Amino acid sequence: MVQAAGVSRNGSRDIGPVRHDWGRLEAEALYALPFADLMFRAQSIHRENFDPNHVETASLLSIKTGGCPEDCGYCSQSAHYDTGLKATKLMAQADVVATARRARDAGASRFCMAAAWRNPKDRDLDEVCGMVSAVKDLGMETCATLGMLTPAQAARLRDAGLDFYNHNVDTSPEFYDKIITTRTLQDRIDTLANVRDAGIKVCCGGIVGMGEEVEDRLGMLVMLANLPNHPESVPINLWNEVKGVPVNDTAERPDPIALARLVAVARILMPKSVVRLSAGRQYMTDELQALCFLAGANSIFIGDVLLTTKNPQRDRDVNLLDRLGVRSRLNQMQPVAPPSAHD
């Protein structure tokens, strides 16, 4: 891997302004730093911008499951593959709000409503806008992920009280069409612009472990970092295994150290973005999650399920965050006194 000029190997801090002109070689050079130097650099930037002992907690709900016309090769919900998932209609607002209330009471600060659509129809959007307003009234941050949006649809969601819109680039430009053929990367970028222009905060990231190279993972981060504005939230999903989808033919779970390196590079490239350890935490050891938090990850999904796949159980998450002295709405920890010399 190439060592680019301007990347210090001694971990020195050169925390400049937020940049949108990252080069791939720079990202590769950061990724190739000795682990301690990379982590020190990421931690330094993290501490400049965030409380290093806090993680955000979000909760997900699939408000419309399965039967999706898109062919995303990793997804249980695509109608192109036989994944054994039963498709459902759009949930009723009262059920969504009841689930959001339970998520809030269980420690989630943000509630993300996800629908397996290529794009919402206007009558579906009426329903979702009602859900967004009602969840907002619970005092939670609202997020939705509904597929492609027009500018007018984005404006309607904003007016309903939507804080964040999740729309992932998923992978690098080079790997993209090995995974999805029914929509282009440019379609994704256009929706991100519509969301941004409407004044909604952007949640945008991708997936690792689908058979892509390290260069693809870094290419994805560079693409995100070079958007006109950095996404406020950057979800990094580890592919959660789903039977019957094409990604099974290529999938390879990343080396844990490679994952921590990737999180650290995300933190350095996008210093002010919240980086979420998203899907796939069920495969990560506590030690790997701790490394990722040290590298700058500062958000997780809580709850026993994500959309259609598993997430770590509540007790495991509470136990992990408690042992790390990390505060969140999940464990509601008070600051702890440092261990005494006798401990």
Q: Does 284 bind ligand SAM (CB under 6 A)?
A: no
Q: Does 107 bind ligand SF4 (CB under 6 A)?
A: no
Smaller CB separation from ligand SAM, 18 or 305: 305
Q: Does 291 bind ligand DTB (CB under 6 A)?
A: no
Cβ 171 to ligand SF4 shortest distance, Å: 12
Q: Is 292 assigned a catalytic role? A: no
Phi, psi of 327 (to 5 degrees): -90, 145
Among residues 240, 273, 289, 328, the one that binds ligand SAM under rule CB under 6 A? 240
Q: Is 143 assigned a catalytic role? A: yes
**Nearest CA-CA partner of 298 in 54, 42, 104, 107:** 54
Question: What is the rounded CA–CA span in Å between residue 174 and residue 161?
Answer: 36
Q: Does 207 bind ligand SF4 (CB under 6 A)?
A: no
Q: Is 129 assigned a catalytic role? A: no
Among residues 131, 180, 307, 320, the one that binds ligand SAM under rule CB under 6 A? 307
* Amino acid (1-letter code) at residue 108: A
Q: Which of 41, 104, 110, 112 is catalytic?
A: 112
Among residues 39, 85, 103, 116, the one that binds ligand SF4 under rule CB under 6 A? 116
Cβ 274 to ligand SAM shortest distance, Å: 16
**Binding segment toward ligand DTB, per CB under 6 A, in 11-19, 127-135, 232-240, 264-272:** 232-240
Q: Is 204 assigned a catalytic role? A: no
Q: Is 13 assigned a catalytic role? A: no
Which residues are designated catalytic? 68, 72, 75, 112, 143, 203, 276
Contacts with ligand DTB by CB under 6 A lie at 60, 76, 112, 114, 145, 166, 168, 205, 235, 237, 240, 278-279, 306-309
